[in-house]
Structure 1
Amino acid sequence: MGEDGARADGVRVLVTGGTSGLGAAMAAALLDAGARVAVTGRDGDRARAAAERLGPGAAGIGMDVRDEGSVARGVEETFGVLGGLDVLVNNAGIGMRTVNPRFLSDPQPFWAVSPDGFRDLVATDLTGYFLVAREVVPRLLAAGGGRVVNVSMNHSTMNRRGFVPYGPARAGAEALSRIMAADLTGSPVTVNVLLPGGATATGMIPDDLPAEHRAALLPPEVVAAPIRWLCSPAAAGVHDQRIVATQFADWLAGQVRRR
């Protein structure tokens, strides 16, 4: 457990894109805090293998967030396996290396990006957040409440040279989050945004990144404490907040002082 001391005993959480990277780190942290977690991936076998690695309390579910039929089936399976749902963590995404494997050392201009690559990344990183939330939130409202956490990234990365389409897709997902929060204000469902606060050591980082830069990457576990807290009783009623994991301790202390 982290210094925040948050527990999430019995909380049922769906983490999309939970087979590796930030998703796997959040799933592991939540399981450690007592939650039950379903992790998704496009490949159902890979998702189930990831759940086995995570251990008791984890379930793996095949879900392609680009496709509403797959999302509907995956959410239905999640509710069946977990017996309901309390928190959706929208995390599934693909990175710049899918359109430019050397995007850090050799950034390409937007006009060099293939239309198919652009569409696939936006379909995953932006439309996927919409499709999963669209399927889950009405169920949370019908059940009397729940929470949505949308994973984002630094604002500076959203408009960084050579970051089309990843930057625009994540900027769109953050705007979507704010609108979701506005639409749900006054309801029993909360929406918040969580981001690491810097480049993170995940599969999205290109293989040719120099060792000195790789050493400066944040570990995926940087999101562990804030996601535990966001899924805990302590975060009840917290709504429309943008939480930066590297600044979480100070942010949380400020919340406590204001109460």
Structure 2
Amino acid sequence: MTSDTTAFDLSGRTALVTGSSRGIGRRLAEGLSAAGATVVVHGRSAVAASAAAEQIAGRTGNPVFAEAFDVTDEDGVDGGLSRIEARHGVPDILVNNAGMQLRAPITEFTAADWNTLVATNLTSAFLLSRRVAAGMIARGSGRIVNIGSVQSQLARPGIAPYSATKGGIVMLTKGLCADLAPHGITVNSLAPGYFATELTKALVDDAEFSAWVAGRTPAGRWGDVGDLVGPLVFLASEASAFVNGQILYVDGGMTAVV
């Protein structure tokens, strides 16, 4: 490993970012592309994924491709990865970003919604990691980054099932590290705090809630999605070669204080 900034260069690497046609995932895909990676943008909609890929390529000047499949469906994951591998080889970097949020008091939360959250937020990371790991093991290298949340450690009313899925991401990350580290593969989790995106616009626009976020966060503000790019590039690059099984909270200090 080099000791200068070239360790952060992702040139020659292929990265798949699930759920990257919009929101945080899209910004993460753009950040990896700007760092030199050949990025595969993923979404449920081929149209949306292709549009995002075209726009990211226009901004970074690097090749960006698109792929669509259902991350909760085992056959869909296998088919999608087979197509990616046929075009680009086994991804060097997998970012398990696909996720969703559902809110309700626990007594009103349906089993169907629970199952949907678990499938989207946790099972998908298992399916993608298991599928990609085989090729990474054969190659003897790879980077897997699971997108977690401060809600893996901090609970709020109405999101108990979501918190459970993100707690599962923490232990999936550590378990994958135990299995895959001997093969030259690192598995870490990037855990955002409260970030302003199109998906959280209603909360950002809620003056009372935004005041709570600012008061609860030592940095005194919502996160900007750009704040996640540097930490992701670090975890995806040779700069983090001896970092494994870790949860990196990018939360303005929220999890550090009471």
Which band: TM-score by shorter chain?
0.7 to 0.9
Do the aligned residues in 1 keep the contact of 2:18 with 2:42 (CA within 8 Å)? Answer: yes
Q: Which residue of 2 aligns with 1:71?
A: 77
C-alpha contact (below 8 Å) 1:195/1:223 kept by paired residues: no
Q: CA deviation at 1:246?
A: 4.8
Query: Unpaired segments of 5 or more residues in structure 1?
Result: 101-107, 249-259
Q: Which runs of 5+ in 2 are unaligned?
A: 215-220, 254-258
Partner of 1:86: 92
Q: CA deviation at 1:145?
A: 1.5
User: Equivalences for 1:35-184 in 2 at 5 Å?
Assistant: 35-55=37-57, 56-96=62-102, 100=103, 108-155=104-151, 158-184=154-180
Write out per-residue CA displacement over residues 100-127 of structure 1, whole angstroms, 9 at most, x where no aligned residue. Answer: 4xxxxxxx32120122211111100011
The alignment status of 1:28 with 2:24, answered yes or no, reads no
Using structure 1 for the length normalisation, give the TM-score.
Answer: 0.83
Mapped to 1, the partners of 2:183 and 2:9 lie a distance apart of 24
Shift of 1:89: 0.7
Question: Structure 2 CA distance, aligned partners of 1:85 and 1:185?
Answer: 17
Contact 2:189 2:247 (C-alpha < 8 Å) held by counterparts:
yes
Higher relative contact order (CA 8 A, sep 6+): 1
Distance 1:219 1:112 in 2: 32
TM-superposed deviation, 1:14: 0.7
Aligned counterparts of 1:184 and 1:35: Cα–Cα separation in 2 = 22
Tell me the equivalent position of 1:231.
236
Q: CA deviation at 1:87?
A: 1.0
CA shift at 1:7, angstroms? 1.9
Change (3 A) 1:11 1:194: same
**Counterparts of 1:225 and 1:179 in 2: how far apart (Å)?**
25
How far 1:23 moved relative to its partner? 1.0
CA apart distance, 1:154: 1.0
CA contact (8 A) 2:150 2:251 kept: no
Bigger mean CA offset, 210-219 vs 132-141: 210-219
| Contact 2:146/2:173 (8 A) holds in 1 | yes
Partner SS state of residue 173, structure 1: helix
Give the 3-state SS of the residue equivalent to 1:186 in structure 2. Answer: helix
CA displacement at 1:206 relative to structure 2 = 5.7
Contact 1:39/1:61 (CA < 8 Å) preserved in 2? Answer: yes
SS in 2 for 1:165: helix
- Kindly indicate which of the two structures has a greater share of residues assigned to helix: 2
List 4+ stretches of structure 1 deviating above 4 A.
155-158
Name the SS for the 1:66 alignment partner. Answer: coil
Count of matched residue positions in the alignment of Structure 1 and Structure 2: 234
User: Does the CA-based 8 Å contact 1:158-1:166 persist in structure 2?
Assistant: no
Of 5, 12, 16 in structure 2, the residue corresponding to residue 14 of structure 1 is 16
Tell me how far 1:155 sits from its aligned partner.
Answer: 4.5
Q: Tell me how far 1:164 sits from its aligned partner.
A: 2.8
